[in-house]
Structure 1
């Protein structure tokens, strides 16, 4: 039985290695394991409350319209040209952005079946209002992730 779990571990390690190899060279700042987990959790919660924009088109449109949030971009997009303009838009609009290793994980968290290039997590839903306590919980998680991303970005440059 011991060898079985060893085999599973090596399969898991191999998957992680493949994810890293598939990463685009521009995927910086890349979230570490802990931040990735927390970011995807935030995306999942935001998706439940409809505080999310999925896909390059929607995200770009929202940023141009002046909506604020945290932009989460998948690092394994190919061809990379699809998303190269998104970080620049984010920087101009002063929106914190971070790369997560996998578009599949991002889609799972964002409650879609299709792999997703990027999502914009907002603190308020585009339509309607949230209950006060839900809003506050989402906001506190959002602020935590945003500050972690800002820290990561400042350590890079």
Structure 2
């Protein structure tokens, strides 16, 4: 019985290694395991409350229109040219951004079946309003992740 979990663990490690190998060289700042988990949780919650923009087109359009949020970009995009302009747009608009290891994980967190290049998490839904406590919970989670990202980026540059 013990060997099953061992082979499963080695299989999991191999999957993680492949994810890291597939990463683009520009994928910095890259979220660690803990931050990735927290980020995906935030994306999931934002998707539930319709506070999420999915895909390069939607994200770029939102940023150009002056909407604020947190940009999460997948690091294993091929060809990388698809998303190379997104970090620059984010920096110009003073929007925090972070890379995560896989587009598949980002899609499942964002409640879509298609792999997603990038998402923009907003604290307010595009249409309608959220309950006060739901809004506060989303906002506090958002602020927590943004603080972690800020800490990570200041240590990088």
* Alignment TM-score, normalising by the size of structure 1: 0.99
Aligned twin of 1:90: 90
2:96 and 2:75 mapped to 1: Cα distance?
16
Task: Tell me the CA shift for residue 3 of structure 1.
Answer: 1.1
1:96 and 1:66 mapped to 2: Cα distance?
14
1:38 and 1:20 mapped to 2: Cα distance?
19
For the aligned residue pairs, the C-alpha RMSD in angstroms reads 0.3
Aligned twin of 1:25: 25
**Long gaps (5+) in structure 1:** none
1:17 and 1:141 mapped to 2: Cα distance?
29
1:81-133 Cα deviation digits (max 9, x unpaired): 00000000000000000000000000000000000000000000000100000
1:56 and 1:155 mapped to 2: Cα distance?
27
- Alignment partner of 1:104: what SS? helix
**Long gaps (5+) in structure 2:** none
Q: Do residues 16 (structure 1) and 21 (structure 2) align?
A: no
Aligned twin of 1:139: 139
Q: Do residues 65 (structure 1) and 65 (structure 2) align?
A: yes
2:132 and 2:9 mapped to 1: Cα distance?
43
* Alignment TM-score, normalising by the size of structure 2: 0.99
2:4 and 2:48 mapped to 1: Cα distance?
37
- Alignment partner of 1:77: what SS? coil
1:32-88 Cα deviation digits (max 9, x unpaired): 000000000000000000000000000000000000000000000000000000000
